[in-house]
Amino acid sequence: MTKRERIERRSSDRTTVACPVTLIANGQLHYTQTCNLSENGLFINDDHGLGVGGLVNVILTLPDRRLVSAAAEICFVQPGVGVGIKFLNLKSSDRQEVRQLIRRHYDEQRRDESRRHTRTRRKESRSKIALHLNLHRSSTTTPHPPLRVRTEDISRHGACLIAPLPLEVGEVITLTCVQAECELRAVVKYTHGDGERWRTGVQFLSFPKKWLIMELAVSALLEGGRLER
């Protein structure tokens, strides 16, 4: 294979995906699966005794059970590993199906990476400050006095509260200082407890400035709050 052919072979997007493949070569059927796939060809995980330049027919089963078939050529062989196959006459409609599969797979990978990033991005500093706050619930139909809660830790983006009862995930609450004039709106992200104490994670809907957190801390100290190390 020339250098130009190798460049052309890798010129299209490809993705690592396992799809069932039936190869018809020299009148024999070979059942295998893709290791990666592009609109120009595929790589399978077994050489099946095939040689470079050999012509085969490929029947590819997509995840939605749609079949894609084409004449193809063996472009390269890695003995004991697999073979690279180039489509020769893939129909435009089948090419579009493969292209859409690759795009969906890329989108799923990006979403997975985004979720992993979300789970591991808790790198911001969180202060172990016990602040006594009033928690006002807007979702209750009957007016109730505010709940007295305290923070277990706090950052610019959220806090972990210790509450006397469970809150609903997704509920929007308002936190006010017991003495100082300050107010924060937040949304509940999780809650769990033992029936008497409920640890509740909240995310601030507007990021408080550092001076506000300091004001909260000073307020807590003035009313007898404590700093935990």
Using 50, 70 and 90 to split pLDDT, how confident is the model at 58? very high
More confident residue, 33 or 212: 33
Segment 182-197 mean pLDDT = 82
Kindly tell me if the per-residue pLDDT of 32 is higher than 90: no
More confident residue, 165 or 209: 165
HEC string for 159-172: EEEEECCCCCCCCE
* Stated length of the chain: 229
Q: Structure tokens of 209?
A: 């400035």
- For 18, residues 6+ apart whose C-beta sits below 8 A from its C-beta are 33, 34, 35
Q: Of 175, 166, 164, which is closest to residue 203 (Cα–Cα)? A: 175
Maximum mean pLDDT: which of 32-36, 164-168, 185-189: 185-189
Q: Structure tokens of 83?
A: 């073979």
More confident residue, 52 or 117: 52
Q: Structure tokens of 189?
A: 């992200």
Going along the chain from its start, the domains and CATH numbers come out as 3-120 (2.40.10.220), 129-227 (2.40.10.220)
Residues in a beta bridge with 190: 201
Segment 118-139 mean pLDDT = 73
The angle subtended at Cα 44 by Cα 43 and Cα 49, nearest 5°, is 115
**Which pTM was predicted?**
0.44
Kindly tell me if the per-residue pLDDT of 226 is higher than 70: no
**Alpha-carbon separation of residue 159 from 134, 194, 209 (angstroms):** 14, 19, 14
Which ranges of the chain does DSSP label H, i.e. alpha helix? 3-9, 92-120, 210-222
* One-character DSSP codes across 148-195: EEEEEEE-SSEEEEEESS---TT-EEEEEESSS--EEEEEEEEEEESS
